[in-house]
Structure formats: structure tokens, C-alpha cells
Structure 1
Amino acid sequence: MKDKKILIAGIILIIVIAVGTALYFFIAKDEAMLNHDLSKKENTEEQNLMQANQEALAKAQESGSTLRPADETDHIWGDLNAPVKMVVYSDFECPFCYDFHSTTQEIKDEFGDRVAVIFRHYFLSSHSNALLAAQASECAGEQDKFWPMYDKLFEDGRAGNLNMEEFKQDAEDLGLNQAKFNKCLDEEKYRDKILAQKQEGKEAGVIGTPTIFVGNEIYPGAYPFTDFTDSRGREVEGMRSVIERQLGIVD
């Protein structure tokens, strides 16, 4: 009887292990397929954005539209007289922009004062909090804290925390004059400036974010810092190679 019970217990254990193993591989396969589908969707969206941007740029060039030169009205990270100027049209609620935010830091770490980063607003209408976030950055800029707020807003965006309460908390964390910041934000003081920058971007050929201009070249999409192979198997310059070429640096 004892041997029979041991045998039954052994059979049950084998069945449990078999079912568990099958379930594990089923879930793993399902998750892998889901991740593949999401990755494929993201690649397709970025390809569509890049193609649409290039088409918009071609139309803008045909009509004689050009990118407005950087000046003191822009937010500039670095020296306006730097040999390379990189104008970035971006949106604080754009996932691709979160990626390029990291690339921008790599660029500054590598090239320092040889590259000036110029940030311009291009909020997407599909992003419900992007315009408000842009206004928060400008209100912080009024107190010489644009770039620290810029970093915080991208952190907020990654965490899904783009909202009025969070912006005011960011202002407090940065040591801003809270009353002045709140008044600026509540009155939408910089709304017109942000709308004007978006219109300038459209006229220069921008239709999505991020869109990066380096010299007279346009790079639509979240280009990484290093060279990469695109979805069609083509070798593509990353931002480091683009900037090195602009600076005349050769291997």
C-alpha cells in the first residue's frame, strides 16, 4: 500500500511538472510574440515618421523655406558661436524624444563646447499634456532654470507624470519662486511663443518629433549616439559620426 501511494504521488508530481513546464513555455512564447509585435510596431512608426519628415523637408526646400538661425531668444545649451549647432524640435510627452534626451547628454559629454544644442518646441496635438509641459519649461526659463526643468520634464514624461501638480512640485524642487512660476503657468504666458516655434518648425519641414537639424542636414527620429543598422539592413550614421563629420574629424 505504501509503495502504491509513493507511485501515485510520483505520477502526480510528474504531471504537475509537465503541466508547469508546458505553461511556462506557452507564456514565454506568447510574451516573445507580443514583444516582437510591439518592436515591429515601433520600428514601423519610426520609419513612417522618418519618411514623412523627409517628404515634408523636400516640400519645404522647394518652397524656399529655411530653418530660422539660432539667436538669443532660443534656449541654448553651450556657446551660440560653437562650430556645430544642433537644433532639436521636441515634445516632452514623446517617447522617442525621451530616447533622444539621453543622446543629447552623450553628445555634450563627448563634444562639450564644440556643439551648441538649441531646443525648440514642437508639441504634438495627440499628446494632451505636451503644451502645458512646454509652458512649464518656459516659466522655469524665466527664472534661468530652463535646462534643469527640461531634464525634470523628460523624467516626468518617462514616469507618466506630466501634469500641473507635478510641474509645480518640480518648480519647488528647483528652488524657483513658486508664486511667480504658478502665475506664469496659470496665465499661459508663453503659449504664443511655443505655438510660433511649432509653426516655424512646420515651415522648415518638421512634422514629427524629435526632428534634429545639424548644420543644413535634417535627421528625423530618435537617432542614437552611435552608428546603427536600420530595419532594412542599411548602415546609418549615429549622431557622433554626424557631428564628427561636421567638425571635420576623420578616423
Structure 2
Amino acid sequence: MEEINTKQTTKILSTFLTGNILQVFLIVLLIGAFFAIGSLYTKVKFYEKSGVSPNVANLGTNNAPTPNLLTQPEEAGKVNPISDKDHIRGNSKARIALIEYSDLECPFCKRFHPTAQQVVDTYKNDVVWVYRHFPLDRLHSKADKEAEATECAYKLAGNDGFWKLTDKIFEVSPANNGLDLATLPDLAAGVGLNKQAFQACLDSGEMAAHVEEDYQSGVTTGVTGTPGNILLDTKTGKTRVLPGAVPFDMVKQAIDEMLKS
């Protein structure tokens, strides 16, 4: 009888311990899941607050911009030299170039666009704005075609036509794939371009290669999101990365420091 009771007791104790270990294991898994979700949420909110539109492929990596950019300046990778293919605004002989890799459907690019214009207006002789395409097509499927549209504007009316249509798209687009591509010919006509010639250029897809070339140069430079902003000192060759829709004061401070060197 004692032997039976001992076996029963052992069995009950074993069952109890097994059940509790399983419960503890499940609790640990749940806690780990909560931490993982919390970490991902924090990272997404950080991107939103910092003004960076991340590339989908890099969303899970630890590549968020450092908040204190000026005390911990980051240099860019290999930067393609400014050429006749680039779209510039401002003094072409300026010492400092603000090179922006941009996506026409990116909300942070839309926010930064007037900031870049303010920089050029403030530093009339010292800073030139260089615009390069970096459409994040996995986020914004319309961005590639819109970039091609601005290149068609360049083909028809030069640098002036390019900037007029680029400004107009940023003005009217709600961002995040909100622009109806069917309105592009009318937008082009609204800034003084021949509507039929523009439509023919856009339909041909002839500007896709140039857009892709810009994109690949951004990849080489190390751009992973938009707007990807790089200050290039053409005198010293030094660079400084300012990722995201950084405020004017931050850009100004960085430029002033470069001009002093």
C-alpha cells in the first residue's frame, strides 16, 4: 500500500512539475514576443519622427540616423561627381553641393523640398542644389514613372522645365502613391510643356534608364532611404550625410562648419 501511494505521489508530482515548466516556458515566449513587437514599434516610430522614409529592404536593420548629426558627422560613400546630366539649382560654381537623392512620392521628400530651396536662397553663391532620383518602388510604385516624367520635362524644356514639373508634382501630390499618373500630361502642360510631345516621351519609357542610373549611383553612395542628403565640399572633397527631412537650421549649421574649414 505504501508502495502504491509512493508511485501515485511521484506521478502527481511529476505531472505538476511538467505542467508548471510548460507554463513558465510559454510565459517566457510571450514576454519575448512582447519585447520584439515593442522594439519594432519603437524603430518605426523613430523613423517617423526622424523624417526618414526607409527602404523596405532595410527596415529591419539598425540603420536609423543618429539624432546628433553634427557632433557625430557621417561621411558618404563614393559620391558620383556632378556632371552635365545632373539637375542643379543655384550657382553651378558654388563650393558646397547639396546632393539630394529623392522620391517624388516620399512624404519626407515633399517636406524637405522647400527646405532645400531655402538653403539655395540663403546661400546664393556658396551652395548648389543637385537633385538625383531615388524612387523606392517597393513603397511607391508610381515614383519611377513620375521621375521619368520630370526627365521628359528636361528633354523638352531643359533644366528649367525639369524644376518646374518637379516643383509642381511635390506641390500637388499628397505623397505615398497619392498622385494619379493620368494627370501628369496636364501638369506638364500647366508648366508650359507641349502636352503631346510630353505624352509621347512618357509612353516611350526612354527616360527609365536615366532614372535607374541615378538610383544605382545612390546605392553606391550608401543611400538607403529618402531624402538621402549629402553635403559635398567641392574644395576639399569632404562629405557629410544629413539623412531625412532635416530642418533648415541643421543644414545651415553643417554648411557653415564646412565653409569655415
User: Structure 2 length normalisation: TM-score?
Assistant: 0.67
Q: State yes or no: 1:149 paired with 2:129.
A: no
Contact 1:53 1:220 in 2 (8 A): no
Contact 1:133 1:162 in 2 (8 A): no
The SS at the match of 2:132 is strand
C-alpha distance 41-220 of structure 1, shift in aligned 2 (>3 A)? closer
Q: State yes or no: 1:108 paired with 2:131.
A: no
C-alpha distance 51-101 of structure 1, shift in aligned 2 (>3 A)? farther
Ranges in structure 2 where 5+ consecutive residues have no aligned partner: 1-43, 67-74, 233-238
Q: Which residue of 2 aligns with 1:67?
A: 79
Q: Which residue of 2 aligns with 1:95?
A: 107
The SS at the match of 1:218 is strand
In structure 2, distance between residues paired with 1:54 and 1:176: 39
Question: What do the CA deviations read for 1:92-148 (whole angstroms, capped 9, x no partner)?
Answer: 000110111021121122111321100000000210110111011111111220011
The SS at the match of 1:175 is coil
Offset of 1:40 from its aligned partner? 6.6
Q: Which residue of 1 aligns with 2:149?
A: 136
User: Structure 1 length normalisation: TM-score?
Assistant: 0.70
Q: State yes or no: 1:167 paired with 2:179.
A: no
Contact 2:102 2:134 in 1 (8 A): yes
Question: What do the CA deviations read for 1:161-213 (whole angstroms, capped 9, x no partner)?
Answer: 52222211111111111111111101111101101111111011001100111
In structure 1, distance between residues paired with 2:135 and 2:46: 25
Aligned length: 194
Contact 1:53 1:205 in 2 (8 A): no
In structure 1, distance between residues paired with 2:53 and 2:142: 25
In structure 2, distance between residues paired with 1:161 and 1:104: 23
- Tell me which of 37, 42, 47 is aligned to 2:48: 42
Q: Which residue of 2 aligns with 1:20?
A: none
RMSD value, Cα: 2.8
Q: Percent identity?
A: 32
The SS at the match of 2:242 is strand
Q: Which amino acid in structure 2 is aligned with residue 96 of structure 1?
A: F
Q: Which residue of 2 aligns with 1:241?
A: 253
The SS at the match of 1:241 is helix
In structure 1, distance between residues paired with 2:96 and 2:120: 12
